Structure 1
Amino acid sequence: MGVVTKTVGEALIDILEANGVDTVFGIPGVHTVELYRGLAASKIRHITPRHEQGAGFMADGYARVTGKPGVALVITGPGLTNTITPMAQAYQDSIPMLVISGVNARASLGHGTGKLHELPDQQAMISTLAPMSHTLLEPGDLPAVMERAFAILTSCRPGPVHIEIPTDVMAKQISLGPLQAVQATGPRASADQVRALLKLCREASRPAILCGGGAVSAAVAVKSLAETLDAPVVSTVNARGLMAGHPLSVPASPSLAAVRDFLAGSDLVIALGTQMGQTDYDMYADGGFPDLDSLVRVDIDPEQLTRGAAASLKVLSTVDQLLEDLLPLLADHRAEAGGAERARACREAALAGLSPKMRAEIAVLDIIREALPGCRIVGDSTQAIYSGNLYFEAGRPSGWFNAATGFGALGYGPPAAIGASLGDPDAPVVCVTGDGGLQFVLAEIGSARDCGANVIFLVWNNDGYGEIRTYMEDCGIEPEGVTPSAPDFLKIADAYGLPSRRLADVADLAEALQIMAAKGGPSLIEVHETGTRGLSA
């Protein structure tokens, strides 16, 4: 293709397509219709949620399973402010998200004349939580701005990138030359850093590996490193399933005493792509995570290496590139460090340290994983998910993620599950959501129906905000405001045309999941904390 003349809106779609975007999530409005001009003729699929918050969470779920940026297309003003919560969740969990919004015409910006959807300074508002927020004032700058956006999304610590396009710019004509996908790579460790880590690996007799979400893309290489060093692998919430079922896997939270003791007893701990933040490492805010004398931190973000746990060696690199350089140097190294036995002991101690109620909830999660091999479990902030974050082995990389960590946005699970299903339509997705959380985004059931997402909504009904109710009781506070009424979820499902079932016994769960998965498309199963036998201790 030579140089062509197109509108900014049409050129935007071409640039997205050239960079591998096949799905966008959004609700069109008068402030974005010009961005839709080229969409129908493209190969990009448009998914319409019921609320822009749903668009952002869908983009998040899509990004987690594909590794590509999730794209949300929203109007100026309320469309963008509705997307702020998903952007904040993506920022906290380092998820690549591209949010493209409209904004009022250039001549009106900053004048406060009461234009429809006007904000005092929309770009400044978003820039506090986005690695990049740019207002496209010059139409011809579009290709360069989009190149910068994709370079940030693919080579830096992931997060939400925002581009706003004034309504008078969208229809302007620009010249567009041949397009290519942006090729960018993140930082790579220096040879000295690789040699320093190599020396530590060869000398260690009780090594351990900590994995965060930044290690998921390197799952195969992480497994190879673990086997080479005979090192147990502790996975944080966003890394669960990275070592699915492996004897060296420890799918337990570093907030648990047993895991902390295990790490403290290791003479080398390599932390790969993990923020080492409170919601993974100090969930109970007791300050009990140990100081580790031989901690190595590997991170894509130089600032993150200066925060949190102090390390004896800090390596600025993507996990993929570091292991690509390190593993060949360890080709002749085969340690015998009792890794499988150390991992088994840690797993057993971690699980034993949980309450009977938590263990019963984890057992239900185990049923889901075994009933639907290869499934992804996407969670909302509900009690079973909190228990799973403490201890649960997902069946695959990116097979477990939720909002009960990081930013902790309630209502995340259902739209994120839809996005995950669209990103990998061959894998069954089970969304574990509470009756309270589901009501934040209840209408997205209709979005799932519209796009045929293979999502089973498993409603964990505990008559309100059960986790908060329990917390208030534990603090000696009379529970208040935690018992919002719920609709009959089966009737809601029927209204949207979804098959549904209410279980009397957890023993029926595996069969129910298999039946619903066989039907294809979205469905709903409800379990009740006290009304379903075996749900919890």
Structure 2
Amino acid sequence: MSDLSRKDALSGGEALVRALAAHGVTDAFGIPGTHNLEVYRHLQAYGIRHVTARHEQGAGYAADGYARASGRPGVAITTTGPALLNIAAAVGQAYSDSVPLLVVSPGMPLRHPRQSTGLLHEMRSQTEALRGVAAFSHRVSSVDEIGAAVARAFTLFRTGRPRPAHIEVPLDLLEAVEPAGPPRIAPPAGPALPDPAAVEAAAAALRSARRPALVLGGGARAAGRECRALAQLLGAPVVTTANGKGIVDERHPLSLGVSLHSPAVQKWLADRDVVLAVGTELAESDVWGPLPALTGALLRVDVDPAQMYAGLPADTALVGDARAVLAALLETLRPDEAGEPVDTAAEVTGLRATRDDETRGRDARWLPYLRAMRRVLAEDAVVTSDSAQCCYYGALPHLPLGPEARYLHPTGFGTLGYALPAAIGAKTAYPGRQVVALSGDGGLQFSVQELATAAQLGLPLPVVVFDNCGYGEIREEMAARGDRPTAVDLPSVDLAALARAYGGRGGTVRSPDELADALTRGLATPGPTVVTVPEESSR
């Protein structure tokens, strides 16, 4: 590996790669192009493995999946112009779901005129284009500044709410050799601690609560043990957002799983005298409609102060790292001082049944197949998800997972084509863990070319596809409006044959047992295995 402490002159490309390696980056996703070759020249020397996607959007989703699965920032490398715009959707998704994603790209030369000159991949402003979807988009003006820009990105990832960043290096600076100085390193950051007075106020509210509830979002991921301890101490049922799925084992007697979209659960939540919401926006995309009107006190825990008055404003604001806040609450709210929790297990069981009854006619088609998947999946499996009916109506509420597992879903921004490349990213991070992608036929075809990436990696990766011959959700929305379905019915594609063409395997199953068998084989077979479930078989 090249010396990370070198202080002599470096090319901009080497300075960039050195800065990434100095921050512990070992994997990157992207596609080489004419303008970024100086970056690619140095990756191997600095110990950074590169995964070549087949589309920049796929590279972005793979880096996103890598970050969500591993907890480490995902890095994507693009070239100029159309390549950078191709990855913009992935950056927007990462922003929506608070994912630490770093995109690095070349840009027009340092002194390139504002007026168009017809240079290859020229566009008016790459930084402005990415600024609309990233937390920051920064164009450096010297080789020495590159290290500081990378350190700034990693500081953002380590402090406050993690969100994506973009760094642009003018293409002439990538090739220029200039003094770079020692690497700048983002300082280690301890957990953001809450205001002790706010902790005391929240503890007092919980101490007196008779009908408490916990709502957990993705920001509570690192505080799973504390969430479970607090729920058990209070006897408080737990409901999660999509990004909070599995933080508390969904088979736990107090868990309602991903149920914020259920009218019965929303009515129940509105009746709680104290609601503790941890690491969640409590947004429309979490409840699939207007936010419920809470009648009790709302305690909000979030590292982002702006969340305290967004959506449902907090009655008590606990600004800080979720794990630190909940640990302080548990210490303050000693077991002998907690209220008398009632036995809520029966209440939770009844709510689960009511939730399932609300949508039995819609969701029943997927349940036997999801139970078959659950039989095969290990406790630490990673399931990636698309913005597809089988995922948000099916797996989110009905595929129970525990805290060792991960379920990666494109919430908020709601992009299509996420599942397959995100699974590649997760499998890159954890080649020894089971990773399964779950998608619909419409969503898969947004990024189906990444089957070639999965085949090249040679890692076992089953892709389960429920095929309803088109865009099923939009078809049903049109019908519900009384409209004639238009542009939503698509000819069925032989996805198994397509998988084989890309170097993988594939087949069609027509029963849950066949799915379990195919999934078992796919998890033991190098490369991607596409398993198609025709819609008529899942009804």
Q: TM-score, normalised by structure 2?
A: 0.94
Shift of 1:72: 0.6
Shift of 1:180: 4.8
Which whole-Å CA distance do the structure 2 matches of 1:358 and 1:301 have between them?
A: 35
Which residue of 2 is the match for residue 336 of structure 1? 341
1:350 maps to amino acid:
R
Question: Is 1:32 the counterpart of 2:39 in the alignment?
Answer: no
- Residues 128-207 of structure 1 correspond to what in structure 2 (within 5 A)? 128-171=132-175, 172-177=177-182, 180=185, 182-185=187-190, 187-207=192-212
Match of 2:434 among 403, 428, 433: 428
Contact 1:186 1:300 in 2 (8 A): no
- Residues 212-361 of structure 1 correspond to what in structure 2 (within 5 A)? 212-244=217-249, 245-281=251-287, 283=288, 285=289, 287=290, 289-333=292-336, 335-361=340-366
Which whole-Å CA distance do the structure 2 matches of 1:64 and 1:111 have between them?
A: 40
Contact 1:301 1:316 in 2 (8 A): yes
Which whole-Å CA distance do the structure 2 matches of 1:25 and 1:206 have between them?
A: 47
Say which is worse superposed, 405-414 or 358-367, in terms of deviation.
358-367
Which whole-Å CA distance do the structure 2 matches of 1:2 and 1:494 have between them?
A: 47
Structure 1 unpaired stretches of 5+: none
3-state SS in 1 of match to 2:80: coil
Does the C-alpha gap of structure 1 residues 394 and 453 become closer, same or farther in structure 2, counting only changes over 3 Å? Answer: farther
Match of 2:495 among 486, 489, 498: 489
What per-residue deviation string (whole Å, max 9, x for no partner) do you get for residues 282-340 of structure 1?
A: x1x3x361234311111121222221012211221121221232222234346533232
Which whole-Å CA distance do the structure 1 matches of 2:261 and 2:173 have between them?
A: 50
Which whole-Å CA distance do the structure 2 matches of 1:87 and 1:122 have between them?
A: 13
Contact 1:18 1:181 in 2 (8 A): no
3-state SS in 2 of match to 1:41: helix
What per-residue deviation string (whole Å, max 9, x for no partner) do you get for residues 236-262 of structure 1?
A: 111111112211111132121111122
3-state SS in 1 of match to 2:44: coil
Which whole-Å CA distance do the structure 1 matches of 2:151 and 2:17 have between them?
A: 13
Question: Is 1:401 the counterpart of 2:423 in the alignment?
Answer: no
Contact 1:251 1:393 in 2 (8 A): no
1:20 maps to amino acid:
G
Which whole-Å CA distance do the structure 2 matches of 1:126 and 1:221 have between them?
A: 37
Contact 1:8 1:174 in 2 (8 A): no
Which whole-Å CA distance do the structure 1 matches of 2:79 and 2:268 have between them?
A: 50
Shift of 1:176: 3.5
Q: How many residues align?
A: 529
- What is the root-mean-square deviation of aligned Cα atoms in Å? 1.8
Question: Is 1:525 the counterpart of 2:531 in the alignment?
Answer: yes
3-state SS in 1 of match to 2:46: coil
Contact 1:102 1:167 in 2 (8 A): yes
2:406 maps to amino acid:
G
Does the C-alpha gap of structure 1 residues 230 and 109 become closer, same or farther in structure 2, counting only changes over 3 Å? Answer: farther
Which residue of 2 is the match for residue 71 of structure 1? 75
Which residue of 1 is the match for residue 12 of structure 2? 8
3-state SS in 2 of match to 1:523: strand
Shift of 1:393: 4.4
3-state SS in 2 of match to 1:107: coil
3-state SS in 2 of match to 1:28: coil
Contact 2:102 2:166 in 1 (8 A): yes
What per-residue deviation string (whole Å, max 9, x for no partner) do you get for residues 348-381 of structure 1?
A: 2211211323133134223212211232221112
Contact 1:472 1:478 in 2 (8 A): yes
Which whole-Å CA distance do the structure 2 matches of 1:182 and 1:192 have between them?
A: 28
- Residues 373-384 of structure 1 correspond to what in structure 2 (within 5 A)? 373-374=378-379, 375-384=381-390
Which whole-Å CA distance do the structure 2 matches of 1:90 and 1:511 have between them?
A: 34
Which residue of 2 is the match for residue 392 of structure 1? 398
Say which is worse superposed, 476-485 or 349-358, in terms of deviation.
349-358
Which whole-Å CA distance do the structure 2 matches of 1:240 and 1:323 have between them?
A: 18
Contact 1:256 1:390 in 2 (8 A): no
Which whole-Å CA distance do the structure 2 matches of 1:128 and 1:10 have between them?
A: 28
Which residue of 2 is the match for residue 210 of structure 1? 215
Does the C-alpha gap of structure 1 residues 229 and 109 become closer, same or farther in structure 2, counting only changes over 3 Å? Answer: farther
Which whole-Å CA distance do the structure 2 matches of 1:122 and 1:97 have between them?
A: 17
Which whole-Å CA distance do the structure 1 matches of 2:479 and 2:419 have between them?
A: 26
Which whole-Å CA distance do the structure 1 matches of 2:113 and 2:214 have between them?
A: 50
Which whole-Å CA distance do the structure 1 matches of 2:299 and 2:424 have between them?
A: 37
3-state SS in 2 of match to 1:40: helix
Shift of 1:145: 1.6
Shift of 1:186: 5.5
- Residues 453-532 of structure 1 correspond to what in structure 2 (within 5 A)? 453-530=459-536, 532=537
Say which is worse superposed, 363-372 or 31-40, in terms of deviation.
363-372
2:273 maps to amino acid:
D
1:148 maps to amino acid:
R
Which whole-Å CA distance do the structure 2 matches of 1:315 and 1:362 have between them?
A: 38
Contact 1:23 1:45 in 2 (8 A): yes
Contact 1:252 1:259 in 2 (8 A): no
1:482 maps to amino acid:
V
Shift of 1:477: 0.7
Shift of 1:112: 1.9
Contact 1:456 1:522 in 2 (8 A): yes
2:453 maps to amino acid:
S
Say which is worse superposed, 7-16 or 212-221, in terms of deviation.
7-16
Contact 2:370 2:395 in 1 (8 A): no
Does the C-alpha gap of structure 1 residues 259 and 306 become closer, same or farther in structure 2, counting only changes over 3 Å? Answer: same
Shift of 1:156: 2.0
Question: Is 1:440 the counterpart of 2:474 in the alignment?
Answer: no
Does the C-alpha gap of structure 1 residues 318 and 365 become closer, same or farther in structure 2, counting only changes over 3 Å? Answer: same
Which whole-Å CA distance do the structure 1 matches of 2:113 and 2:192 have between them?
A: 37
3-state SS in 2 of match to 1:241: coil
Shift of 1:462: 0.7
Which whole-Å CA distance do the structure 2 matches of 1:174 and 1:364 have between them?
A: 59
Contact 2:264 2:355 in 1 (8 A): yes
